[in-house]
Structure 1
Amino acid sequence: MKNKDKLKGFFSGIIFSAIIGAFALGVTVFAAPIESKLSVVYDNIKIYIDGTLFQPKDSNGNDIKPFISKGITYLPVSALSKALGKDVSWDGKTKSIYIGKQPASKAKEVTVSNVNELFDALGSNKHIKLKPGTYNISDLNQDYIKSKNIYWESVYDGNELILDEISNLTLEGLGDSPVELVVEPRYANVLTFKNSNKIAIKNIKAGHTIEKGSCVGGVFKFNLSKDIDISDSILYGCGTYGIIAEDTEHLKFSNSIIEECTYGAMTLNYCKDFAFDNSKIRKCENYELIEIYSSTSIVYNKCEISDNTSSDILSVSLSNNVKFTNCKFKNNSPFNPTLFPAVDFTGTTFE
């Protein structure tokens, strides 16, 4: 060719009907291919993102060049998606490219009436409906490991149930009043979720067995998880805290109650985009009631915080966009909101 900047020719290879499948993603594909010949033009195409020149690269750091075929410009999906802050993946079974969130799989609906049926039903893509009653997780056979995603971890006075890498799971209590989940060990959380997403808890009352006493375990713990929805539920003590969240984002807590917890209502560390709506935090004691550390966009709206004897009602550090809008603080330990100038208390009252 006379113009070295324009390389025009034919190459033969394995491509998909969408073309960008294996070439752009840089993944190994095992599905039956379609062989074709494609005429392409490399014309020193430049990509700018928000005014900044972007050079896409493959997984080995080599430059990837966009090309033109039949008037259509083809760009490398993987590199471009990551530049835009989106994850990209390839599903060889369905021959699908996913950019950002994957479409939710349809959850299988299961109705259970006892804790053994509940345990058997646990897993991803499940909508578990619990018939009225009390489900004591400590009654389960704890020598049995269901899978790599559902297992037991030892704590000081027993075992704790762990749900790891679970996606699209709903636990919904049936009936007019919440269905109760309990555990007996004082050092175990009622449920611990790790690396999980799209978890919904509806019409559930959860805590430790009724007798009061010192404990370390909380009610629900979320670690490295996202898209959590807790509604119409009651989280009570003992546990130490109603919610323990670490490196978690997009949690919604609505029309629900956290009460009588022995350390405080919640401790949030490295969290993002939490919304507490139309809920109550009451009758908790001892340490920080609401502890927020290195987190952003934690919003309480139309919540009532009342009758708490915690030594500190609020502890906020290294965090931003913390708001209490249209909330009511009533009958708590002494609390001075002016000590938190970075917290927005718009429409909130203090009694």
Structure 2
Amino acid sequence: MSDDYCFISCASEDLHIAQTLYRRLRELGLHPWMDKPPRPYHMEGLKPGEIWEDRLRNTISSAKYFIPLFSKASVQKTGYVQSEFRQALSRLSQIPAGKIFVIPVRVEDCKIPSVRIDGISFAQYQYYDCWHGNFFDLTAYLAALEGKQVAHGPKQKIEVTTAAEFLDALRPNTEIVVRKGFSLTGVAVPENPHIYAREVFDGEEIVIHGIDNISISGVGEQEISVSPRYATTLIFERSNGILVSGLSLGHRPDIGECQGAVLSFSNCTAIQVRDCRLFGCGTYGFELLECDLVKIEDCSVFECSYGFFTSENVTALSLSRVAFYDSLCFDVVTAKNSIITFDGCSIENNRSRHDNCKIFNTYKADLKFIETAIDIGGFGGLGLSPDPKGVHVTRNGSRWEIPDKLFLMPHQRESLPSPPQREEQPDEVLIFIIDESYDRIDEHVNLGEYADEGAATDAASRVFLSRIKSEFDTDFDEVNIGPGADLPAFVTVISENVVPLIPWLIAVFFSGKPIVDNIDAWRAILSKIKPFFHRTVVLNRNGAAVLAMNAVFEDMGGIPKKVVLHGYKPDYRYDEAQLVAPTEIKDPIPTLNLGTVKHVFHIEADGVLFVVAVDGSKVIAKRA
């Protein structure tokens, strides 16, 4: 091991904070060390079979910097962390005057210990305050000590009153003050490397990515909204040190059913959302994926159409004094592989979409509650072990009068959540053609000939159905493939009576077994699907597999001798730069959800690995 590394010392309660610092230092090209580093660096710390006392003593004695993280837990705790502190103080007596070795860091308001060893204590040294995992000043200082250039400095304050000014101001190390509310819909995206527009079914959504150390605050609770039902209001990707405060965020103009959330964070660290109102009709108040150190405090979340929030692979999510109410929910909170604390929160006055919906739907999630009130009236239960500590459970039910528009949007054929749908069979390729008359009634019928818009809508749909039946010379069934926001479509089937090998190919492919015979039959199936592509189409898992295989064939310049599927997952959104190979083969999802699903495959062909994403007729493939 080189002697230019930074030893990070922390209490076990602060492990996730220390791991965040570890990642930041690695990103800057520095060499941190800790006993339990985060993945994928987990084998760089203490290794199985090592004598930990010897390893820690040797590592501290040869480290260039020692960074103790002080918190209320670490200053009071006995055990390993105190042993590390004592060893560092002992080494300080050997460090030449003026040379930097110890850099104390407070991760919360606490008193640094004044205990002395050889007349030296940590309290003698200037410390850094790094609240909520914001290590930008500290890492910039360490980088400067090592002669590395870091684009970090004091935040530039920019006041904005329009969406265009807001988008232009989205840059690292910036404090954006919103003095007047605006809509992000229909705004031209400027030449800014940190934002881009992503197409959704009924418009575009703005994605903010690669921004560090940014705050967005409102003066007088200004509102930022979007109007496309499929757009998320604010999306952050691969960003660190984010503060959103004093704002109202949601969908306009009316309450209804949307397919976009209010806030979305993926692969982000050190997130704070405080003093905000997150309102529907978004699916969830916020969505978190692969995030660390998230704090939501003093916020209200209401009028959502799916639930409170989703959290997947999130460490140290803390919700303090957050109220969720007046919403129509499936499972209220969906959490997977996440560590979450609820402190002084309330989940009350919400309605369940059906009897088996629960408050919590969790998988490998660690939930802690402190003085939190939850009403389960109308839901199928809490979804947790009986009588969790820190929760006051009631069964009062909702007193909220659900607005009609939350159930019925214009042109809907029936009230949600029971739209028509067709469940696929294991050996069928389903092709869904989106009903193009849905929002273009006057292109199909004369509105003046009908008593009301509903009658005109039904007539327009029948005209469109007649056209595609004639165009493709096949039968279609009416379905709905959009949960929440209605997405009517017409479905047709390609099965073994069209391509006899379909049942065998599909069964072997999704079993994960190698295919070495009749591989060219995939192109026979493709030839039956492609004629539909001049319409807007959605495919089920089997149909998407055909397009994925064809993408592999095109990349390899021909038909491979052997193909095997290593993984498949349905995903609600993806970015080409972030395609991740699934490691297991997931089951197909209900057709009701297909309207927003992208199919992701991990395929091996003649020893070459591919990740392929299929979104309707659009395919993105890359070698893994």
How far apart, in 2, do the equivalents of 1:248 and 1:210 lie?
A: 31
How has the CA–CA distance of structure 1 residues 305 and 286 changed in structure 2, closer, same or farther, with 3 Å as cutoff?
closer
Which residue is 1:31 aligned to?
none
Letter in 2 for 1:274: L
**Residues 195-204 or 115-124, more deviating:** 115-124
Could you tell me how far apart the structure 2 residues matched to 1:238 and 1:197 are? 28
Alignment partner, residue 146 of structure 2:
96
Determine if the alignment matches structure 1 residue 173 to structure 2 residue 218: yes
* Deviation at residue 345 of structure 1 after TM alignment: 3.1
C-alpha distance 280-93 of structure 1, shift in aligned 2 (>3 A): closer
1:230-287 per-position Cα deviation (integer Å, ceiling 9, x unaligned): 1110111111111100011111111111101011110111111011111200012131
* TM-score normalised over the length of structure 2: 0.40
CA distance in 2, matches of 1:116, 1:201: 18
Pair 1:131 & 2:179 matched: yes
Relative to total residues, which structure has the larger helix share, 1 or 2? Answer: 2
Normalising by structure 1, we get a TM-score of: 0.69
Higher mean C-alpha displacement, 281-290 vs 261-270: 281-290
The match for 2:52 is 50
Structure 1 gap segments, 5+ residues each: 1-18, 29-47, 57-64, 78-85
- 1:69-97 Cα shifts (integer Å, max 9, x gaps): xx879xxx9xxxxxxxx9x9899994537
Q: Find the counterpart in structure 2 of residue 42 from structure 1.
A: none
Greater relative contact order (CA < 8 Å, ≥ 6 in sequence): 1
8 Å contact kept, 2:359–2:376: no
Q: Which one of the candidate residues 335, 345, 351 is aligned to 2:389?
A: 345
Say if 2:289 and 2:312, in contact at 8 Å, map to a contact too: yes
The question of 1:191 aligning with 2:238 is answered: no
Unpaired segments ≥5 residues, structure 2: 6-25, 30-49, 65-93, 102-134, 396-624
Amino acid at match of 2:208: L
Superposed, 1:138-157 pairs within 5 Å as 138-142=185-189, 144-147=190-193, 149-157=194-202
Equivalent-residue separation in structure 2 for 1:218 and 1:136 (angstroms): 15
Pairwise mapping of residues 147-296 of structure 1 onto structure 2 (< 5 A)? 147=193, 149-175=194-220, 178-296=221-339
Kept in 1: contact 2:259–2:282 (CA 8 A)? yes
Structure 2 partner of 1:34? none
Counterpart secondary structure, 2:231: coil
User: What SS does structure 2 have at the residue aligned with 1:348?
Assistant: strand
Over aligned residues, Cα RMSD in angstroms?
A: 3.8
Report the Cα offset of residue 216 of structure 1: 1.3
Q: Which amino acid aligns with 1:118?
A: F
User: Is the 1:206–1:236 contact (alpha carbons within 8 Å) kept by the matching residues of 2?
Assistant: yes
CA contact (8 A) 1:183 1:207 kept: yes
Alpha-carbon offset, residue 307 of structure 1: 0.9
Determine if contact 1:90/1:96 at 8 Å carries over to the other structure: no
Deviation (angstroms), 1:210:
2.6
Q: Partner letter of residue 176 of structure 2?
A: I
1:89/1:123 Cα in 2 relative to 1: closer, same or farther (>3 Å)? closer
1:326-345 to 2 correspondences below 5 Å: 326-330=371-375, 332-334=377-379, 336-337=381-382, 339-341=383-385, 344-345=388-389
Matched pairs, number: 280
In the aligned structure 1, how far is the partner of 2:387 from the partner of 2:175? 37
Q: Distance in 2 between matches of 1:49 and 1:97?
A: 34
Change (3 A) 1:225 1:343: farther
CA contact (8 A) 2:358 2:381 kept: no
Distance in structure 1 (CA, Å) of the matches to 2:242 and 2:139: 22
| CA separation of 1:50 and 1:193: change in aligned 2, threshold 3 A | same
How far apart are residue 313 of structure 1 and its match? 1.5
Query: 8 Å contact 1:145–1:152 — kept in the other structure?
Result: no
1:307 to 343, 349, 355: 349
* Cα-to-partner distance string for 1:275-319 (whole Å, 9 max, x where unaligned): 1111200012131111111112x0111111111113322112111
Question: CA 1:281–1:53 in structure 2 vs 1: closer, same or farther (change >3 Å)?
Answer: same
Contact 1:130 1:174 in 2 (8 A): yes
> 1-side partners of 2:63 and 2:272: how far apart?
42
Q: Which has the higher Rg, Structure 1 or Structure 2?
A: 2
Counterpart of 2:112? none
Mapped contact 2:337–2:364 kept (Cα < 8 A): yes
Identity rate of aligned residues, in percent? 22
Moved over 6 A (4+): 88-93
Question: How far did residue 191 of structure 1 move?
Answer: 1.0
Change in 2 beyond 3 A, CA 1:51/1:192: same
